[in-house]
Amino acid sequence: MKTYIDELVEKVSEATGLKSKETVKLYALLVLIKGENITLEDVHDAWSVMMNFRPYNPPYLGHEHPSIVPFDQLSYETQQKDKKYADALIKVAKEMGKK
């Protein structure tokens, strides 16, 4: 039996094109708790949580990735890498009626 969480995770996976199940699950949680109010910082924070606990992500150990810093310490260019994901998550939230 498919739950509403399973359906949401599928929609987030399709909308973002991400292969990382951990990231997709965290992004699905953002849709549930933030709805259409998801920010670039939210996306970065969710990604940072996932990366921090990932045992190995070439060429870094997960927690050694240079972008695992507070959002406001990232360059503008690095911050903008989260935009396509924020836009996709907001679209999913709108489709699901999550304001």
Q: What is the number of domains present in the chain? A: 1
Confidence of residue 43 (pLDDT cuts 50, 70, 90): very high
* pLDDT for position 41: 98
- Over residues 31-50, the mean pLDDT reads 96
Q: Which residue has the higher pLDDT, 17 or 97?
A: 17
38 token code pair: 């998801």
Query: What is the token pair recorded at 33?
Result: 């708790």
Q: Which domain holds residue 33?
A: 4-95
Confidence class of residue 67 from pLDDT cuts 50, 70 and 90? Answer: very high
Nearest-angstrom CA–CA distance, 35 and 52: 24
